[in-house]
Amino acid sequence: FGERPVLEPLDLDLEAGSIVSVIGPSGCGKTTLLRMLAGLETPDAGTVHLGGATPDEARRAKQVAVVPQQPGLLPWRTVEANARLLLDVGRSASPSGSTSPADPVALLHEVGLGDVLDHHPHQLSGGMQQRVALVRALALHAPLLLLDEPFAALDEITRAEMRYLLARMVEGRGATVVLVTHSISEAVALGDRVLVLSPRPGRLVADIHVDLPRPRTAGIDDDPRFVERCSQVRRALHEAGGLS
């Protein structure tokens, strides 16, 4: 990448308990932003604070959970064992300052996987694998949940199902959620805010508040306010040069 920055300076405050969608063209720095929030990359300038802690401190204290693009399940572990993975790793790092971890088995039942607890990843569909990845992250009960295009590899029907499953799973749990996505409808359907980034170097070109009622269900797609917010995001992307 040479010396060209990935992201322009960003000045953001994320409200605790909110769901924030981040959208922009490929290469604009969305994943880099998420990795900085997770403490996996250090910004060249500026600071990131998560409830008074640095991202690295928060990650080591199990205050941050990440759902990546690919489920990343361990093939030799069962569904239940994969869902428990983050709880099993670094047991000494209790999630200080947050509530107790959730029961992975209960969460697996909640996402419809209660009858495949002893299956292995190769026995699951892509959507089922991503449900396990979601449960693995939610089981930490961390105050910050980061999702990096978690449904990008799924077909459209499964993706729509997962969108509203995610909404149901995170609403009411008190976590702050940051979702990176390429889907305008997904960003609006899930977010309280949609942050629109320009092409690289990414800069914030729009911060759109989504005034849609919760809980969000599939019926929200027909709400005129949903259609208008999608159009607003699309216009912001077009004006920033993120859409042809």
pLDDT tens, residue by residue, 73-115: 999 999 999 999 999 886 655 554 445 678 999 999 999 999 9
| Cα–Cα distance list, 179 to 20, 73, 116, 152 (Å) | 6, 20, 27, 12
Of 23-32, 156-165, 228-237, which one has max mean pLDDT? 228-237
Q: What is the pLDDT of residues 161-218, one digit of tens each?
A: 899 899 888 887 889 999 999 999 999 999 999 999 999 888 999 999 999 998 888 8
DSSP class of residue 100 equals P
Which residues neighbour 139 within 8 Å (Cβ) at sequence distance 6 or greater?
83, 84, 86, 87, 101, 102, 103, 104, 107
The pLDDT value recorded for residue 242 is: 63
Residue 146 exposed, middle or buried by CB count within 10 Å (0-12, 13-18, 19+):
buried
Distance CA 55, CA 49 (A): 7
**What residues form DSSP beta bridges with 148?**
180
The pLDDT value recorded for residue 62 is: 87
Distance CA 128, CA 116 (A): 10
Q: What is the pLDDT of residues 18-54, one digit of tens each?
A: 999 999 998 898 999 999 999 888 888 778 888 888 8
Distance CA 18, CA 20 (A): 6
